[in-house]
Amino acid sequence: MKMLMFDTSGFEYKTHSKTLDDVEDIEECETITDPVVIFLHVEAEDEDRKNKVLKKSYNNLKWYLNKIGKDRIVLHSFAHLATSKSSPEFASLLISELKDKLVSRGYNVSVTPFGYFSQFSINVNGESLAKVFKDF
């Protein structure tokens, strides 16, 4: 998995077009104030190590959120951080399980619609810790 984490003052997205035929039709637009925005890329090899990837992604997010003092998160599937990609079904499942784990521990989590290209606007803060990349 690859994670690109941003400390932001705001994130806005609007669904643009479907990338998967089997997802339901959604027109959604949301503005989220002061979140951490996580671009997630689930790789093919993650399918054989799901529990390890889930644990590592949760621990990395917990570390990052503690460092910057936030509890509001946006998870955004972004399959452009590597050439290896998991199946869409697995990526969707892993992101859903990560969300559930974060919510059960008190974090406020939003997930952008899976299987869609979205138009988005992101206001990333300037500190060096506002932009962190993790690969595991």
Q: Kindly report the backbone phi and psi dihedral angles of residue 61, in degrees, each rounded to the nearest multiple of 5, phi listed first.
A: -65, -45
Rg (CA), the chain: 14
pLDDT classification of 127: cutoffs 50, 70, 90: very high
pLDDT confidence of residue 96: 97
pTM for the full model? 0.94
Instruction: Determine the Cα angle at 61 with ends 121 and 7, to 5°.
Output: 35
Name the token pair of 82: 């590597």
Continuous segment of H or E residues that includes residue 98? helix 88-104
Q: Which residue has the tokens 């932001």?
A: 8
- CA dist 76 and 74 (Å) reads 6
Q: Residue 27: how many CA atoms within 13 Å on its side-chain side?
A: 0
Extended strands (E) in 29-115: 29-33, 36-41, 72-77, 108-111
Enumerate helices (H) and strands (E) in the chain, giving the number of each: 2, 7
- CA dist 100 and 94 (Å) reads 10
Query: For residue 27, is pLDDT > 90?
Result: yes
| 73-111 residue pLDDT tens | 999 999 888 889 999 999 999 999 999 999 999 999 999
Domains of the chain from N-terminus onward = 2-125 (3.50.80.10)
pLDDT confidence of residue 15: 96
Q: Which residue has the tokens 């806005």?
A: 12
